[in-house]
């Protein structure tokens, strides 16, 4: 009778461990999916703001047609990036961010545009959205890190693969941005005459 209780206790412990491990993996997967959804929501908000900014700039900067076309093309490419392909999405998003920086640099040449309340409000909303996108990416990467660690540590790694859980990819920055970090630009405050 004692052996039956021991075997039964071992079976209960193993079933309990499997149950808790599975639920932990599901929780991590759902958190990661939610974090990726947050990125999608914020990029959609940015996509919706861009046409308004372009229309506002068009009235002031008619000769900057190529900049406006580049922003529109980058927006279209970012919207068309394949769902689930984080590398393609990140590249398209980074290209869009670069063209938006160009657009705001061009706006510096137009004092009337810089003082336009509508443009200033749209610009502030876009900056706020960019900050939210960066925060959502950091949140996503944190969840991916936790999920991937959970999948790789013992003893969870023994059953994670059997249950169909796969590691997730981090949302990464573009190669140009990595290069800028690896080779920082020297700053000099000396007066060059």
Structural domain boundaries in the chain = 2-177
Residue 193 has pLDDT above 60, yes or no: no
Residue 62 has pLDDT above 50, yes or no: yes
Instruction: Please tell me the pTM assigned to this model.
Output: 0.68
Fold adopted by 2-177: de novo design (two linked rop proteins) (1.20.1440)
Closest CA to 61 of 126, 6, 3, 111: 111
More confident residue, 142 or 105: 142
User: CB-based burial of residue 78 (10 Å sphere; 0-12 exposed, 13-18 middle, 19+ buried)?
Assistant: buried
Residue 71 has pLDDT above 80, yes or no: yes
């Amino acid at each position: 009778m004692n052996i039956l209780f021991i075997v039964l206790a071992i079976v209960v412990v193993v079933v309990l461990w499997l149950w808790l491990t599975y639920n932990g993996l599901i929780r991590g997967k759902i958190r990661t999916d939610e974090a990726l959804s947050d990125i999608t929501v914020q990029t959609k908000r940015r996509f919706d703001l861009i046409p308004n900014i372009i229309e506002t700039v068009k009235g002031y900067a008619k000769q900057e047609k190529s900049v406006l076309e580049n922003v529109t093309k980058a927006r279209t490419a970012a919207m068309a990036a394949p769902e689930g392909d984080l590398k393609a999405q990140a590249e398209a998003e980074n290209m869009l961010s670069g063209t938006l920086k160009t657009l705001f640099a061009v706006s510096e040449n137009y004092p009337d545009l810089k003082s336009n309340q509508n443009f200033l409000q749209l610009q502030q909303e876009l900056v706020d959205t960019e900050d939210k996108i960066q925060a959502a990416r950091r949140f996503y990467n944190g969840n991916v890190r936790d999920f991937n660690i959970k999948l790789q540590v013992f003893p969870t790694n023994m059953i994670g693969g059997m249950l169909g859980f796969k590691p997730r990819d981090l949302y990464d920055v573009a190669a140009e941005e990595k290069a800028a970090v690896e080779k920082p630009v020297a700053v000099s405050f000396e007066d060059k005459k």
